[in-house]
Amino acid sequence: MRRRTLLTGLAGGLVAAGTRPALAAARRRVLHVRPGDSVQAAVDAVDGPGWTIVVHPGTYREVVRIPEEKTGLTLRGARRDPRAAVIVYDNANGTRKPDGTTYGTAGSATFSSAAPGLTVRDLTLANDWLRADHPDITGAQAVAAYVTGDRSSFDTVRLLAHQDTLFVDTSALTAFDRQYFRDCYVEGDVDFVFGRATAVFEHCHFHTLRRDVDFTPKGMVFAPSTARANPYGILAVRCRVTSSAEDAAYKLARPWVPSYETTAWPSLVVRETRIGPGIDAAGPYTDMREAYPWQTMRFREYRNTGPGAAITVPENRPQLTAAEAGSHTRETYLRGWRPGA
């Protein structure tokens, strides 16, 4: 299987990690990262809240970690085209570290942030690890972005991987951290949008990849693991779901109840979204484990369209009433936070 061509042929050269970013005037609190610089070095140079890092066109092959203390950070591409600046690496869950241990799912992320008030715009975040290149590794989860900080906002960002592309998590099991994604593109195959955060996706595009396997379902778009006490999990509003796979090869979602939080009560609402034929319309949901059937979870839809949204077996597609839909909006999920305001 070939590595994604989407990551090649971009403006700028391959950027080596470990070099220093160019500094703008200190009073402007802006750092510029250009080919030959490192995004992580720019993050490390941030010494207070409210900084902006501008990433110029190029492919930056490195891991980027934004710690909790880098509050109010903005990371954006220098161009409005998210294809111009790409941050990519290729660790997987089962990849060995130098000390012989493995990275685990969260540790495999190319990009991770624990910082509250993060804004990411006009970038590509990718993990190009491929199963076919590593037949000896069974831990195939390879995360592009792992996000835990409250009030994290992503606008016009491409998130590319295969299994577990985007991990929307929280800073603690007792936290209901909020995340917002607008005009983003997310692609993958298995559980590629997953986690326990309150995460709102508006006008986003989810794309399921073709897989050379002889079983179905070939994957699932969503795998929420919402805390039982949290009334709001993942919400997709006015989005679209497309596929490179054959018709009905994918499920829309399955619930994830982690072994470390067996009281989780996954919540997912997909509303006013166009769902293409790649999703199994007759049975859009499935179980991850028999002990936690999807029918007992908070899975609902509202006014979706497209061949993958057809209600052919009503009991397999629970719907919100109009009154219930009024409680499942960006405003109610974000609880007073207005991204970009």
Give the pLDDT confidence of 127-150 residue by residue, as tens digits. Answer: 999 999 999 999 999 999 999 999
Pairing of strands 30-33, 22-23: antiparallel
Pairing, β 152-155 against β 267-271: unpaired
The three-state secondary structure class of 301 is strand
CA 123 to chain centre: 13
Distance of CA 103 to the CA centre of its chain: 18
Q: Are 87 and 60 a contacting pair, CB within 8 Å?
A: yes
Asked whether residue 17 carries a pLDDT value surpassing 50, the answer given is no
Longest dimension (CA), the chain: 61
CA distance 228 to 261: 10
**Running DSSP on this structure, what letter comes out for residue 333?**
H
pLDDT band for position 27 (50/70/90)? low
Judge whether 150 counts as a catalytic residue: no
Amino acid 14: pLDDT: 42
- DSSP alpha helix (H) spans, the chain: 39-45, 104-107, 322-325, 330-334
Catalytic residue among 81, 191, 280, 287: 191
Is the model's pLDDT at 100 over the cut of 90?
A: yes
Tell me the whole-structure pTM to 2 decimals: 0.93
> What topology does CATH give the domain 50-334?
Pectate Lyase C-like (2.160.20)
What are the backbone angles phi and psi of residue 40, rounded to the nearest 5°? -65, -35
Kindly tell me the burial class for residue 46, based on how many C-beta atoms sit within 10 Å of its own C-beta (0-12, 13-18, 19 or more).
buried
- Over range 12-41, report the average pLDDT: 69
Q: What is the pLDDT of residues 187-200, one digit of tens each?
A: 999 999 999 999 99
User: Concatenated DSSP letters for 106-160?
Assistant: HHT-SEEE--TT-EEES-EEEE---GGG-TT-------SEEE-STTEEEES-EEE
Cβ(125)–Cβ(111) below 8 Å? yes
- Report d(CA 339, CA 341) in Å as an integer: 6
End-to-end CA distance of the chain: 43
Q: Say how far apart CA 108 and CA 94 lie, in whole Å.
A: 8
The predicted-structure confidence for 53-94, as pLDDT tens digits, reads as follows 999 999 999 999 999 999 999 999 999 999 999 999 999 999
